[in-house]
Structure 1
């Protein structure tokens, strides 16, 4: 393990923590000393979750994988209960769950709308709710949103729209949880260099997105995980905020 043990004795629940950004956050928090509950959505990501747990254990840390659909209250409760059962409780809750869709409003079906708000909005609400009920005093809650919240663009109505309520959940929770010194924040990456992004874009639009940020590049997951680590360690006085980490892609 890393010599940096700033989270020694802490327990983190990482929603959608098996792969991509979620997987890196799981490993980053473990490297800092936290015990990690790695949530994964379904059997399709079981192998990635188990690989993340193995990587943490190989490095000398402790972790456990638990399946759960974060849009299901029963599953969310079970994920947080796993932290209690395995490690005695939880101090950190990071939700990276999300689903992207690029589609004009007039072509978007009601079923697509419902699914996008279920994955991007309902999951965050239930995650924050359960974190507020179960985290130890002094805990930290982070939801990953999107820099499209500060954009003026087409095609992403249900993605940006589905993430937009999370800011309001965050602000309310930050006030409500403040007496227990629990901070609640959002991190808003720019378009990220992951499969999550490329499936929705043409090569021409990828080039455009790159051109809008420093270095003519997309956001890397390696640029986001340290911000999450900062918010759960030295940045604990920050609460109720949305941090746009996007290399200048968008601003408010």
Structure 2
């Protein structure tokens, strides 16, 4: 692949479970991909190596999504390497579960710093840099519809993501840039599976009419659609959960 490909994607949180699947799917779609990491450079480089081995083009970029200087530098690194940015996918997020009555406010601030401020910082950079014909894809959660106990703090952060997504889509009028959010349901990632016994996972699988837990590749497929052919889908939240909600 050329070092100046037709389309270039930056995947925030691109070395994680869903993020890795998204990075590899967009590379398979023919995009050059910048795989972002917050702290684990080695894991991001593993994704880059896998993409390169499959015939794609990729680089790793680091930084705190909630730090505007880090994100400015990350976008600039992508532009230097590949000539511009067409697709920005922000999978980066923190999940902390506890009843509202017991929720530690320092944990709330930490989660909201990444999930809300981080999404806002990345969206602001994307709004000023994504080229015509491009797409911004944020990440929400299907739990905004499910109202599950212990998810109050997390859902508050993702409801904010949905709100800013719908507004940014309208603020970019005339730019030919779509802005949408993907809202996954239960998905078999290490983060989701951690601490859950087999019975809990089985019950969650039964909740969906398709009677299984989602796979990272299922979510990546939805992102691929929004990042590529879905030019008439704009200002929407796409619930990607097998029908659970």
Q: What is the aligned partner in structure 1 of residue 31 from structure 2?
A: 34
2:16 is the counterpart of 1:9: no
**How far apart, in 2, do the equivalents of 1:214 and 1:221 lie?**
18
Q: Deviations over 1:48-82 (max 9, x none)?
A: 10011011111121111011110111111111111
**Matched residue count:** 242
In the TM superposition, what is the alpha-carbon distance from 1:206 to its structure 2 partner?
Answer: 2.5
2:130 is the alignment partner of 1:115:
no
Report the equivalent of 2:174: 179
2:96 aligns with 101
Q: What does residue range 111-190 of structure 1 map to in structure 2 within 5 Å?
A: 111-190=106-185
Instruction: State the match for 2:84 in structure 1.
Output: 89
Query: Unpaired segments of 5 or more residues in structure 2?
Result: none
Find the residue that maps to 1:187 and give its secondary structure: strand
Q: Which whole-Å CA distance do the structure 1 matches of 2:116 and 2:211 have between them? A: 31
Partners of 1:65 and 1:59 in 2: how far apart? Answer: 16
1:4-83 equivalences in 2 (<5 Å): 9-42=6-39, 45-83=40-78
* Structure 1 unmatched runs, 5+: 2-7
Post-superposition offset of 1:187: 0.4
- Kept after mapping to 2: 8 A contact 1:124/1:143: yes
Deviation (angstroms), 1:28:
0.9
Name the counterpart of 2:213: 218
Q: RMSD over aligned Cα, in angstroms?
A: 1.4
Q: Distance in 1 between matches of 2:164 and 2:149?
A: 25
- Structure-2-length-normalised TM-score: 0.94
Normalising to structure 1: TM-score of the pair?
0.92
Q: Map Cα deviations across residues 112-165 of structure 1 (whole Å, 9 max, x no partner).
A: 110111121111111111100111122100012110011122110111111110
